[in-house]
Amino acid sequence: MNWQVYMILCSDDSLYTGITTDVARRLAQHAARRGARYFRARRPREIVYLESGHSRSSASRREALIKRLKRADKQALIGSQRNELVAADR
Protein backbone atom coordinates (compact mmCIF):
# COMPACT_ATOMS: atom_id res chain seq x y z
CA MET A 1 0.00 0.00 0.00
CA ASN A 2 1.21 3.52 -0.82
CA TRP A 3 1.43 5.66 2.32
CA GLN A 4 1.85 9.43 2.17
CA VAL A 5 3.33 11.94 4.59
CA TYR A 6 1.60 15.32 4.57
CA MET A 7 1.67 18.70 6.29
CA ILE A 8 -1.38 20.90 6.74
CA LEU A 9 -1.26 24.65 7.35
CA CYS A 10 -3.79 25.41 10.08
CA SER A 11 -5.92 28.45 10.87
CA ASP A 12 -3.47 29.50 13.61
CA ASP A 13 -0.54 29.22 11.12
CA SER A 14 0.75 26.06 12.80
CA LEU A 15 1.86 23.07 10.74
CA TYR A 16 0.34 19.65 11.39
CA THR A 17 2.15 16.55 10.09
CA GLY A 18 0.49 13.20 9.54
CA ILE A 19 0.38 10.06 7.40
CA THR A 20 -2.38 8.44 5.36
CA THR A 21 -3.16 6.30 2.33
CA ASP A 22 -5.76 8.80 1.08
CA VAL A 23 -4.87 12.44 1.65
CA ALA A 24 -8.21 13.85 0.39
CA ARG A 25 -10.18 11.62 2.77
CA ARG A 26 -7.90 12.49 5.66
CA LEU A 27 -8.19 16.24 5.01
CA ALA A 28 -11.99 15.88 5.00
CA GLN A 29 -11.79 14.05 8.33
CA HIS A 30 -9.65 16.81 9.81
CA ALA A 31 -12.01 19.48 8.48
CA ALA A 32 -14.93 17.62 10.12
CA ARG A 33 -12.92 17.55 13.37
CA ARG A 34 -12.76 13.76 13.36
CA GLY A 35 -9.51 11.94 13.93
CA ALA A 36 -6.76 14.09 15.36
CA ARG A 37 -7.51 16.09 18.52
CA TYR A 38 -5.20 18.78 17.16
CA PHE A 39 -8.05 20.05 14.97
CA ARG A 40 -10.53 20.53 17.77
CA ALA A 41 -8.96 23.91 18.57
CA ARG A 42 -7.99 24.96 15.03
CA ARG A 43 -9.14 24.47 11.44
CA PRO A 44 -7.10 23.00 8.59
CA ARG A 45 -6.54 25.54 5.80
CA GLU A 46 -4.61 23.66 3.14
CA ILE A 47 -2.20 20.83 2.47
CA VAL A 48 1.20 22.40 1.94
CA TYR A 49 3.42 19.31 1.76
CA LEU A 50 2.98 15.84 0.29
CA GLU A 51 5.45 12.98 0.00
CA SER A 52 4.36 9.58 -1.40
CA GLY A 53 5.83 6.15 -1.95
CA HIS A 54 6.17 5.02 1.64
CA SER A 55 5.34 1.82 3.47
CA ARG A 56 3.44 2.22 6.73
CA SER A 57 6.64 1.96 8.72
CA SER A 58 8.73 4.32 6.57
CA ALA A 59 5.89 6.89 6.59
CA SER A 60 5.76 6.73 10.40
CA ARG A 61 9.52 7.21 10.65
CA ARG A 62 9.42 10.13 8.21
CA GLU A 63 6.50 11.72 10.10
CA ALA A 64 8.44 11.50 13.36
CA LEU A 65 11.51 13.06 11.74
CA ILE A 66 9.50 15.95 10.27
CA LYS A 67 7.72 16.59 13.58
CA ARG A 68 11.12 17.08 15.25
CA LEU A 69 12.18 19.75 12.74
CA LYS A 70 12.15 23.44 13.59
CA ARG A 71 9.54 25.54 11.81
CA ALA A 72 12.15 27.10 9.49
CA ASP A 73 13.29 23.63 8.43
CA LYS A 74 9.68 22.57 7.81
CA GLN A 75 9.16 25.65 5.64
CA ALA A 76 12.31 24.81 3.68
CA LEU A 77 10.97 21.29 3.17
CA ILE A 78 7.65 22.72 1.94
CA GLY A 79 9.54 24.71 -0.72
CA SER A 80 11.83 21.84 -1.70
CA GLN A 81 11.79 19.51 -4.69
CA ARG A 82 10.84 16.70 -2.31
CA ASN A 83 7.38 18.26 -1.96
CA GLU A 84 5.19 16.66 -4.63
CA LEU A 85 2.87 19.67 -4.57
CA VAL A 86 5.77 21.97 -5.56
CA ALA A 87 7.02 19.51 -8.19
CA ALA A 88 3.51 19.33 -9.71
CA ASP A 89 3.42 23.12 -10.13
CA ARG A 90 6.64 23.16 -12.15
Residue (of 37, 40, 51, 39) closest to 3 by Cα position: 51
Which domain, by its residues, includes 58? 3-89
Q: How far apart are CA 76 and CA 48, in angstroms?
A: 11
Give how many domains the chain has, as a whole number: 1
Q: What is the pTM of this model?
A: 0.91
d(CA 71, CA 67): 9
Residue 88's pLDDT band (cuts 50, 70, 90): low
Q: What is the pLDDT of residues 10-65, one digit of tens each?
A: 999 999 999 999 999 999 998 888 878 888 889 999 999 999 999 999 999 999 99
The H or E element spanning position 54 is strand 44-54
Q: What is the CATH number of the domain that holds 36?
A: 3.40.1440.10
Contact 30, 8 (CB under 8 A): yes
Query: What pLDDT is attached to residue 87?
Result: 62
